[in-house]
Structure 1
């Protein structure tokens, strides 16, 4: 697989970095990635990966996807996810693992899911898993054109699932969570475009959580949604409170699919048009 470490041949082609201590595994993964029209660079150690990422950053370049094995040699790479993300400028970071000798595979997978990685793959995985990642993250996979990233936060799993289906059908990349804390901990919020959040929630709470997101990441468009709480607070009152806190737009529940897609499309096309 001569193309695995020949970045000079990748001009104009999106490139993935594979951090994997097994050359055989790296070749298998690279074939899946190259089938998507991408080039690959393989680093067998974390230090070599940092050298490659640092060199690209110094030249104002970056890789378009990072495939990181959880156990690289004697090192647990989960401790490096946050630092790795500082080099990728929003490119998806995909963790891969078949587990380690000292812990069950499911334990490793659960630890991986608690990081800020974008995807977690259990080895061995198939080409369709790589295809799904690229289709989710890039509007034009072979050109690595990123999709707009929307985060949905709602305590109702059914509502989250429905909104995800509608927005993914509309071409958006969607991440969904049951509470604000999980979203902030597990998503690279710096590269999120819009947050859609229920006002009345457990934990940090929707109002406080949205205010926290808006203060920390002012570039993110934030939409409050609510039906209120029967007998306690109306949906109109809940949304009014969010408006007073500087949230960008409000969406009263229940809402139709067209209402949702039109509002999100408008906000991500020209936020200045939202009143």
Structure 2
């Protein structure tokens, strides 16, 4: 059985490295990007089963990227978990094109693994 693919987007390389190590240890295939530029092209290229997306990506807003993903005819069913240290859960889950779930930073490793498992089980 092929491992599930996870695409993590965050402008903090340390966080991307931690996510990659944790989720690869759980048996997932993890691809990362440290900028909001080119996210849609990368999604089309790697065809992930789940996307972890930071809210603040340098000069870009991850919520706008999430709206683009959820509004895309091919990508709209890919679960998106947004990650943020500065935004609260309610505001993130209530905008049009909202993510499937929210993970606050700093995140607990067990919560990350559990949340990814829940979204991939749907």
**2:82 counterpart SS class:** strand
Structure with a larger share of its residues in helix? 1
Give yes or no for the alignment of 1:240 onto 2:97. Answer: no
Q: TM-score, with normalisation over the residues of structure 1? A: 0.40
- Structure 1: which 5+ runs fail to align? 1-144, 229-234, 271-275
- Partner SS for 2:65: helix
After TM superposition, the score normalised by the length of structure 2 is 0.87
Which 5+ residue runs of structure 2 have no aligned equivalent? none
Q: Report deviation, 1:191.
A: 2.3
State the Cα distance separating 1:179 from its structure 2 match.
1.9
Larger radius of gyration: 1
C-alpha displacement at 1:192, in angstroms? 1.4
Q: How many Å separate the matches in 1 of 2:71 and 2:7?
A: 16
Partner in structure 2 of residue 199 of structure 1: 55
Give the number of the structure with larger relative contact order, counting CA–CA contacts within 8 Å between residues 6 or more apart.
Answer: 2
**Deviation digits for residues 216-263 of structure 1, max 9, x if unmatched?**
1111000011111xxxxxx32xx4332112211011111111110011
- Residue of structure 2 equivalent to 1:215: 71
Counterparts of 1:222 and 1:166, CA distance in 2 = 18
Q: Secondary structure at the match of 2:110?
A: helix
Q: Does 1:256 align with 2:108?
A: yes
Contact 1:199 1:205 in 2 (8 A): yes
Contact 1:154 1:178 in 2 (8 A): yes
Partners of 2:62 and 2:114 in 1: CA distance: 23
Question: What is the rounded CA distance, in whole Å, between the counterparts of 1:172 and 1:268 in structure 2?
Answer: 11
Provide the rounded CA distance (Å) in 2 between the counterparts of 1:186 and 1:200. Answer: 18
